[in-house]
Amino acid sequence: MSALQRLLSHDLPRSRWLALALVLIVVGLAAAPFLFPGAKSLGVAAKMLVFILLVASYDLLLGYTGIVSFAHTMFFGIGAYGVAVATTRMGEGPGAVLLGVAVALLLSMLLSLVIGLFSLRVKAIFYAMITLAVAAAFQTLASQLSEVTGGEDGLSFKTLAWLSPSFEPFENEFLGVLVDGKIFTYYVLFVLVVVLFLLLLRIVNSPFGRVLQAIRENDFRAEAIGYRTVVYRTASNVLSALFATLAGCLLALWLRYTGPDTTLSFEIMLDILLIVVIGGMGTMYGAVIGAVLFMFAQNYLQDLLKLGSALGDVPVLSQLVSPDRWLLWLGVLFVLSVYYFPAGVVGRLRLGALKK
């Protein structure tokens, strides 16, 4: 138990139901290529992994520091474009991938530092508007620099040979699945997301993380007792951006494609905000629960509504349960989750455990 506590930075779930849900999610994602064979299910599982890291990095900024930013997808896109541009220019190989990741991290660090230093001194709403303007400008720039970014069409590229779907090292199937480069890529994502998530968990439970939470609760008091709130907020902004950049790199490696719609669109920013609210702000585990629930609903709700085709003879009801109305029901589910889980799923489960 002590080893598990150290691994989780002494931030245990504090709820049996939450612990059970987290165990099921980790086991399910670890065995996803064999439990849920198929291109779509594997793609959904990979997207869950990427969004767990992306949302956790944003929760460091919003949930733990109290900063509302709309530029998170910009750093997400920088990571994806860094890998894509380097690979298309230098060809496939580990050197190109590593160079792309390094350049993307450096650019994200510089941009987040500049944004933090110049913008975090203003009030929250003005900072949010500044980050929104910067993100919109970056998306426009990525769409117009077609010679570098591929414009609206984006960039398709080849990754390492052993991460390619055509790479099949084994002749026989394992547990009914033929292991190929796509599965290798998935497990690269899985291992890196687990390691980076545990690192984020360590950061928020360190003395640095405690100061961030103090700033979130009362920045004037934190400043009064000697903490330079601008320095801590800027550091939080930079760390959040770097983890978002790594999430973008992982998405690019999985898709082998990068475009404005896959990483830079404002819809992705809205998805991040929804997942944070659903899972629970200020709880890293909320990123795990929220990302899995949201991605499952986003990808399979339309398929579930197809079961309502049996109601074709009922005029109004058949229209309501039509697969074309999946966004309506996704919105209804979000409203219900906010109403019944105002502190998010994780907050509600922990509150229930305390009452017992």
The pLDDT of residue 178 is above 80: no
Q: Looking at the 3D structure of the chain, how many domains does it have?
A: 1
- Residue 227 has phi, psi (to 5 degrees) of -90, 130
CATH of the domain at 285: 1.10.3470
pLDDT attached to residue 353: 64
Q: Tell me: the pLDDT tens digits for 36-93?
A: 888 888 999 999 999 999 999 999 999 998 888 898 999 999 999 999 999 988 877 7
Which residue type is seen at 255? Answer: L
Residue located via tokens 């290798």: 184
Which of 313-317, 323-327, 341-345 shows the lowest per-residue confidence on average (mean pLDDT)? 313-317
Q: Which domain holds residue 207?
A: 2-355
Q: Tell me: the pLDDT tens digits for 265-283?
A: 888 999 999 999 899 888 8
The pLDDT of residue 309 is above 60: no
What is the C-alpha to C-alpha distance for residues 316 and 260, in angstroms, rounded to an integer? 38
pLDDT attached to residue 125: 76
The pLDDT of residue 323 is above 70: no
What is the average pLDDT across 333-356?
A: 79
The pLDDT of residue 23 is above 80: yes
Q: Which residues of 104-137 are buried (b: 16+ CB within 10 A; e: fewer)?
A: bbebbbebbeebbeebbeeeeeebbebbbebbee
For residue 52 the two structure tokens come to 């767990």
pLDDT attached to residue 268: 92
Which of 23-32, 174-183, 317-326 shows the lowest per-residue confidence on average (mean pLDDT)? 317-326
What is the average pLDDT across 149-172?
A: 80
pLDDT attached to residue 320: 67
DSSP string of 80-135? HHHHHHHHHHH-SSHHHHHHHHHHHHHHHHHHHHHHHHHHTTS-HHHHHHHHHHHH
pLDDT attached to residue 2: 75
pLDDT attached to residue 306: 67
What is the average pLDDT across 115-137?
A: 79
Highest mean pLDDT among 113-127, 151-165, 191-205: 191-205
Q: Sorting pLDDT into bands at 50, 70 and 90, what band is 330?
A: confident
The pLDDT of residue 243 is above 60: yes
- Residue 282 has phi, psi (to 5 degrees) of 75, 20
What is the average pLDDT across 179-184?
A: 84
Residue located via tokens 């599982």: 45
In sequence order, the 6+-apart residues with CB closer than 8 A to the CB of 84 are 100, 150, 154, 155, 157, 252, 257, 258
Handedness of CA 132, 345, 299, 56 (dihedral sign): positive
For residue 307 the two structure tokens come to 């079961």
What is the C-alpha to C-alpha distance for residues 115 and 213, in angstroms, rounded to an integer? 21
Q: Tell me: the pLDDT tens digits for 203-236?
A: 999 999 999 999 888 888 888 888 888 889 889 9
Torsion of CA 81, 86, 88, 94, to 10 degrees: -120
For residue 115 the two structure tokens come to 């944004």
